Chains A and B, each alone.
Chain A
């Protein structure tokens, strides 16, 4: 792989939630939910890293922890080489403008009492030193960029359709010229024809500004389409990471295999002749995950070792990481 600059480095990141319980004074036996458990990966400058997994696998928590919307339980997050995982709000503020987030629900993530221009300006006031008289101009520029027009600036979020709202969210995330954007399921709430519009817009903006995306979604075909590399998560752990073509054509981890074969393809002939791997059962609770490999309860290839020992994420081929005993050297 050629020398690419690492923008964000995530090292052994952990985020645990305390679920309460354990008696009146006893914090000892409290149930702990390991939403993100020992995850390590790099994000290169200018790439799109896709993150897929089923609900409850910790992909959103991971995205939010990297953004420091949650305080990590352990591990490091290096942004351009500086560890931001333990910074307080004040120390963090110069970094804030370099990273932004686009949220899943375009209805809930825009303040209904603010006009579009106020929503976009808020981020400029906080993160940039743009003088007040220039802000208005910048808002119009951003709106134009995301395919809305200047009439829209004075309107309120409820006057827009879902796709338009998501465009407002994108304009807001670009307001402070960030380098890195976490897109948390930005298209799941939209209709098919609108999804393609928003994804193409994101791609275009990336070209123009050299943005780096962490693209979180459960729609695997869309993730493959937009991402350069894709990571697969299962129960708080990263089980496979590879560039997107390799991952989809030659998945190694049994979970990735099953996930790929479960995606319905809009082609009746392909569907008829497809060899489907149906994994039995459901995702176990992250509060009490199975011992050993988290996937061993559903894995068709599970052996004794998988029930005892948790496999580590290893680089099997250049750039292809997998956490499975089957591929250990």
Chain B
């Protein structure tokens, strides 16, 4: 399969008055056509900054300092803003966590959808644009699409707004869709509806999805590959079943053990002790060192490399060094 996205050794830093914060630290991954890749991690792990870097939307004060982002063979790092604008919304688009803040409150749904088409499909006339918008709204399961075009975002509920966001982002059938916590602000029954919708549409339009979330349940229901991030680094990268049934990194173990499960009662939750370290401090060793139960002397001293424990299953942990022996 063709690769839609290839991220190589990406580093994104924010320069604050207290020093450099390495929000994304030497991150590499690939995304194949039609695949769903999930990036999981806690707040501050750099999952959102990774996606913003891909979209070329890194906030002020931040900068991509190293690496390549190859999107369909084109390197996006250093691409002029004009060129990025042509890609954004057309070839790649994004759904955000809070649908209220990403829709413009003073324009109708119709205005906002038409804007996308006017910009990216200049050849369409008014009627074509209208038909396309109606078609898209029907696809995302909105009733009375004609009415909806005239409505303002505040007239819609959270779930409906998120449907509008999906309609907006898929208007131009992009090759890549980044969904940043698309269901975090929604209730579970609505979350199930939205996840179903995303699953169907991505297959129909053959869009590759990067799903950013902290909910390992949502990941299990849709993703094919999972990347686990911690402190700006990828600590584990594996196919979905590998990750859930054969996790290798101590942080992934911790995450899976800290979750209560409906189908398993009476096993004590095992929280990961401590909290994430301050990214301003220089890290010599593994960032998970002081929270890790299995930490060794070398973990403090040096960053582990990636080990391929199974085909296509990468782990950044010293435990998988060929000379490592489990202590009795």
Q: Which A residues have a C-beta under 8 Å from some C-beta of B?
A: 54-55, 161, 163-164, 191-197, 199-200, 218, 220-222, 224-225, 245, 248, 258-271, 276, 278-279, 282-283
B143 nearest CB neighbor, chain A only: A281
Check A195–B241 contact: CB distance below 8 A.
Answer: no
Instruction: Tell me, in angstroms, the Cα distance from A282 to B240 when the chains sit together.
Output: 31
Beyond contacts A278-B192, A283-B187: 13 other A-B pairs, Cβ-Cβ < 8 A, are A193-B271, A196-B259, A196-B271, A221-B259, A221-B261, A224-B265, A264-B195, A266-B216, A267-B220, A268-B241, A278-B193, A282-B159, A282-B190
Instruction: Tell me, in angstroms, the Cα distance from A225 to B189 when the chains sit together.
Output: 20
Given A161-B275, A264-B215, also A55-B187 (CB < 8 A): yes
- Which of chain B's residues 140-195 have a Cβ closer than 8 Å to chain A? 157, 159-160, 187-193, 195
Instruction: Tell me, in angstroms, the Cα distance from A137 to B282 when the chains sit together.
Output: 38
Asked if B205 lies at the interface with its beta carbon under 8 angstroms from chain A, I say no
Check A221–B262 contact: CB distance below 8 A.
Answer: yes
Check B262–A222 contact: CB distance below 8 A.
Answer: no
Check A218–B220 contact: CB distance below 8 A.
Answer: no
Chain A CB within 10 Å, residue with most, of B196, B244, B263, B271: B271
Q: Which B residues have a C-beta under 8 Å from some C-beta of A?
A: 42-43, 157, 159-160, 187-193, 195-196, 214-221, 240-241, 244, 254-256, 258-263, 265, 268-273, 275
Chain B CB within 10 Å, residue with most, of A258, A267, A270: A267
* Residues from chain B with Cβ under 8 Å of A266 in the complex: 216-217, 219-220, 244, 256, 259, 261
Instruction: Tell me, in angstroms, the Cα distance from A258 to B272 when the chains sit together.
Output: 32
CB distance from B269 to the nearest CB of A (A): 4
Check B255–A262 contact: CB distance below 8 A.
Answer: no
Instruction: Tell me, in angstroms, the Cα distance from A194 to B190 when the chains sit together.
Output: 26
B187 nearest CB neighbor, chain A only: A54
Instruction: Tell me, in angstroms, the Cα distance from A108 to B270 when the chains sit together.
Output: 28
* Residues from chain B with Cβ under 8 Å of A197 in the complex: 271-273
CB distance from A231 to the nearest CB of B (A): 16
Given A161-B275, A193-B42, A221-B262, also A282-B160 (CB < 8 A): yes
Given A224-B260, A248-B262, A278-B196, also A268-B220 (CB < 8 A): yes
Check A199–B269 contact: CB distance below 8 A.
Answer: yes
A221 nearest CB neighbor, chain B only: B260
* Residues from chain B with Cβ under 8 Å of A200 in the complex: 268-269, 271
CB distance from B264 to the nearest CB of A (A): 9
Check B188–A263 contact: CB distance below 8 A.
Answer: yes
Instruction: Tell me, in angstroms, the Cα distance from A200 to B260 when the chains sit together.
Output: 11
Instruction: Tell me, in angstroms, the Cα distance from A240 to B75 when the chains sit together.
Output: 56
B218 nearest CB neighbor, chain A only: A264
Check B259–A263 contact: CB distance below 8 A.
Answer: no
Instruction: Tell me, in angstroms, the Cα distance from A18 to B227 when the chains sit together.
Output: 49
CB distance from B187 to the nearest CB of A (A): 4
Check B192–A220 contact: CB distance below 8 A.
Answer: no
A264 nearest CB neighbor, chain B only: B217
Instruction: Tell me, in angstroms, the Cα distance from A164 to B275 when the chains sit together.
Output: 9
Check A218–B188 contact: CB distance below 8 A.
Answer: yes
Instruction: Tell me, in angstroms, the Cα distance from A258 to B192 when the chains sit together.
Output: 10
* Residues from chain A with Cβ under 8 Å of B214 in the complex: 191-192
Would you give 23 A-B contacts (Cβ < 8 Å), ordered by A?
A: A163-B275, A192-B214, A193-B271, A194-B275, A195-B258, A196-B270, A196-B271, A200-B268, A200-B269, A218-B188, A221-B217, A221-B261, A248-B262, A259-B189, A260-B262, A263-B217, A264-B217, A267-B244, A268-B240, A268-B241, A268-B244, A270-B220, A282-B159
Given A199-B269, A221-B262, also A262-B188 (CB < 8 A): yes
* Residues from chain B with Cβ under 8 Å of A192 in the complex: 42, 214, 216, 255, 258-259
CB distance from B192 to the nearest CB of A (A): 4
* Residues from chain A with Cβ under 8 Å of B192 in the complex: 261-262, 264, 276, 278
CB distance from A293 to the nearest CB of B (A): 17
* Residues from chain B with Cβ under 8 Å of A224 in the complex: 260, 262, 265
Top 10 A-B pairs ranked by shortest CB distance? A264-B217, A196-B271, A225-B260, A54-B187, A193-B272, A262-B192, A197-B271, A196-B258, A191-B42, A266-B216
Check B271–A220 contact: CB distance below 8 A.
Answer: no
* Residues from chain A with Cβ under 8 Å of B193 in the complex: 278
Check B42–A245 contact: CB distance below 8 A.
Answer: no
* Residues from chain B with Cβ under 8 Å of A191 in the complex: 42-43, 214
* Residues from chain A with Cβ under 8 Å of B269 in the complex: 196, 199-200, 225
* Residues from chain B with Cβ under 8 Å of A263 in the complex: 188, 217, 262
* Residues from chain A with Cβ under 8 Å of B191 in the complex: 262, 264
* Residues from chain A with Cβ under 8 Å of B262 in the complex: 220-221, 224, 248, 260, 263, 265
**A195, A199, A258, A264: the one within 8 Å of B221 (CB):** A264
**B187, B195, B217, B271: the one within 8 Å of A194 (CB):** B271
Instruction: Tell me, in angstroms, the Cα distance from A154 to B73 when the chains sit together.
Output: 56
CB distance from B220 to the nearest CB of A (A): 5
Check A259–B263 contact: CB distance below 8 A.
Answer: no
CB distance from B213 to the nearest CB of A (A): 10
Instruction: Tell me, in angstroms, the Cα distance from A282 to B163 when the chains sit together.
Output: 13
CB distance from A230 to the nearest CB of B (A): 12
* Residues from chain A with Cβ under 8 Å of B272 in the complex: 193, 196-197
* Residues from chain B with Cβ under 8 Å of A199 in the complex: 260, 269
